[in-house]
Structures are given as C-alpha cells and as structure tokens.
Amino acid sequence: MSDQSVENVIIVGSGPAAHTAAVYTGRAELRPLLFEGFMAGGVAAGGQLTTTTEVENYPGFPDGISGPELMDRMRAQSLACGARIKTETVERVDLSVRPFVVYTATGEYSSESLIIATGATAKRLALPGEESYWQKGISACAVCDGALPIFRNKPLIVIGGGDSACEEASYLSKYGSTVTLLVRRDVLRASKAMQHRVLNDPKITILWNTEAEEAVGEAALTGVRVRNNRTGDEQVLEASGLFYAIGHQPNTEFLESQLPTDETGYVITESDSTRTSVAGVFACGDVKDKVFRQAVTAAGSGCMAALEAEHYLVDLKSVQRDTVSQIEGKT
C-alpha cells in the first residue's frame, strides 16, 4: 500500500458534487482524500463545467462566472476546508472487502467509506466542423446555454428523439425563432407526455429519418448539412445553434459492475438519499442523476453524500468501539 493508514472517506471525482462533498467532509474533520482524475473520461479535472464558457445559473454569481473559474474556486475551497487532492484517476475499486480498496496507476488506498462523484459525459457526434464550432454555436446542454444572446430569435436545431431532446426543444422554443428537431428514425423514443409537448408546439418542426452530416459556419456556426437517411437527399439548414441531446454516458467503468446500475449505467441509490446498495458507499451528482443534470443539483447531492457518510462513520466507529469493549471484557 502506498498509504498505510485507513482513510475515513475517499471521494472520487472533481465536479460540483465531489467538491461539495469535500467541503462538508473537510469541515467535519474527516480529512477527505479526493481523487480528481487526470483527463478521466476525456474531461479535465474539474468536470463538465471545464468544457463550457459562462455559467449564468449557479447562485451567487449575478454576472455569471466562467465554468473553469467556478471549478477552480470550488477546488480552492475544498483545499481550504482540509481536503487532500490527488490528480490521479481511480482505475478500480474493491467493494467486497472492509475497508474498501481504491486503486490508481500509482498506488492502493483503503477507506472506511467512499463517495462516488464521477459524473457523466455528454455524448457527441464527431461531425466534421464540430471541433471548430463547439461552444461557438454547438452545445450539449440547452438548459445551460439556450438563453445566451447568440441564440435569441435565431433558428436552432436539436438532435435526438428521447426525453432530453424533447425537453430541450421545448425549452429552446422560448428563445429561438424556430426549433428543428432532427430524429434519425420515424418515431420518438420520448415519453408520450414529452412527445405531445413538441408535437403541439408551433415553433418546433420535426425532420424524421434525418441525420446531421456537417456543421458549417464562419467565425461561429451558421448552419448544419443534413441528410434524409431514407431518400439520401441533403440540404443545409440555417442555424445559429446546434444542441446535442443524444444521451450521456455515466463514468462508471471503474466500478466494474460492483454496484447496481440502471439499464443506461447510472448508479442506483435509495430514494431521497445517496446511499447505494453497499453500506458505506455513496453516489452523488450526474453519475446517479439522469434527469436534472445541473451543477447546483450535483452540488446539493454532494452535500447529502457528505452528511450521510459522516453519519455512517459515526455509527461504524461506535460499533467498532462496542466490539473492542466486548473482546476486552471476555479476556
């Protein structure tokens, strides 16, 4: 072992959920050890917000704040509260033993409790032009970016046919002049309620059997070349905004199926709690949330995980004390 001592709590991840958990467990004097990852899942330490520009809906910043700066501040607050941070990716864990064991490329660490806050990664299409216009018209989060001035009263495109795509198209219809939903099949995967919402919105047009082929523009996105996959017909649709809503991939490979997940890979927790099916293991943020997926909800669940871990450790230490006294009483 690279570290002989048993940690109270190890936090895996580096987004708002992980840092909120670090602030709370640090202030509870649990000396949390946080693994922030090194380009884990292709995203820099700091998580999804390091891939965006302005964040305008995180409370406390009336003029907005850049995503990377917000995450730098959260990291600094974790350190100020007593967290220790290692810039390493957790490669696997062993939840079948007590204390739990966490493995990185350089060492093994044992811990009484574990907070999983590894987030999710929005899926991209790797279209020609995507890199050039990412955050210059292309986004993977309509709720985050849709209200920006560059999208106001402009034609917008959403790709996807699930609940997220329908929700995002409805949301964007408040801001854009028109919203076109590109659906690759001739049916929507979304729930009936969501389908009704988009089908009855006069600002939303659905193009069925249609796939994006290329993002085009100059300094910023101006359009998307699309192809009908039945007829092969192509056209360039004018657009100032292109929003991907083709699903997210929760970052759970390192768990190697040691925790139950739903059919799309999200860690399952008890309702109104961050407790997983393994006592002492807690999950928070986007790795367990496929509905809200916001920085503030991730931070909120990071707080819940920290408080639940603290209660768990108090109970665990009291059981350990009782066991020691019973053994001593017998000898």
Active site residues: 141, 144-145
- Cβ-closest position to ligand NDP: 162
Position among 111, 118, 173, 210 found at the interface with ligand FAD (CB under 6 A): 118
Q: What is the dihedral of CA 50, 54, 60, 61, to 10 degrees?
A: 130
Reduced to 3 states, what is the DSSP secondary structure of residue 89?
Answer: coil
What is the size of the binding site for ligand FAD (CB under 6 A)?
Answer: 43
Shortest Cβ distance from residue 195 to ligand FAD (Å)? 25
Give min distance, CB of 53 to ligand FAD, in A. 8
32 binds ligand FAD per the rule CB under 6 A: no
Q: Which of residues 245-274 bind ligand NDP (CB under 6 A)?
A: 245-247
Residue 294 binds which of ligand NDP, ligand FAD, none (CB < 5-8 A, kind-dependent): ligand FAD
Question: Minimal distance in Å, beta carbon 188 to ligand FAD?
Answer: 23
Q: Of 10, 138, 141, 212, which one interacts with ligand FAD (CB under 6 A)?
A: 141
DSSP H helices in 134-288: 142-145, 163-172, 192-199
- Near ligand FAD by CB under 6 A: residue from 23, 33, 43, 313: 43
For ligand FAD, the binding residues in 256-285 under the rule CB under 6 A are 285
Taking the CA atoms of residue 182, residue 183, residue 189 and residue 190 in that order, the dihedral angle to the nearest 10 degrees is: 20
Residues numbered 141-160 forming contacts with ligand NDP, rule: CB under 6 A: 159-160
- Rounded CA-CA distance 138/160 in Å is 14
Q: Considering CB distances under 5 to 8 angstroms, the limit depending on partner class, which of ligand FAD, ligand NDP, none binds residue 274?
A: none
Long-range contacts from 194-201, C-beta under 8 angstroms, 24+ separation: 194/163, 194/166, 194/167, 194/170, 195/166, 197/166, 197/167, 197/170, 198/166, 198/169, 198/170, 201/169, 201/170, 201/173
Q: Of the candidates 115, 117, 182, 306, which one interacts with ligand FAD according to CB under 6 A?
A: 117
Told to check if 118 binds ligand NDP by CB under 6 A, we report no
Q: Tell me the torsion sign for CA atoms 217, 222, 227, 233.
A: negative
Supply the minimum distance, in Å, between the C-beta of residue 240 and ligand NDP: 20
**CA–CA separation, 75 vs 48, rounded Å?**
14
The runs of H, that is alpha helices, within the chain are: 16-27, 67-80, 130-133, 142-145, 163-172, 192-199, 295-330
DSSP state, residue 151: G
Nearest-angstrom CA–CA distance, 52 and 135 = 7
Joined tokens for residue 302: 């990071």
Binding mask 177-216 for ligand NDP (x = CB under 6 A): -------xx---x---------------------x-----
Does the CA dihedral 172-173-177-179 come out positive or negative? positive
The mark string for 52-91 relative to ligand NDP (x by CB under 6 A, - otherwise) is ----------------------------------------
Residues that bind ligand FAD (CB under 6 A): 12-18, 35-37, 40-41, 43, 45, 47-49, 51-52, 55, 57-58, 89-90, 117-120, 122, 139-141, 144, 251, 254, 285-287, 293-296, 298
Residues that bind ligand NDP (CB under 6 A): 125, 159-165, 167, 184-185, 189, 211, 245-247, 290-291
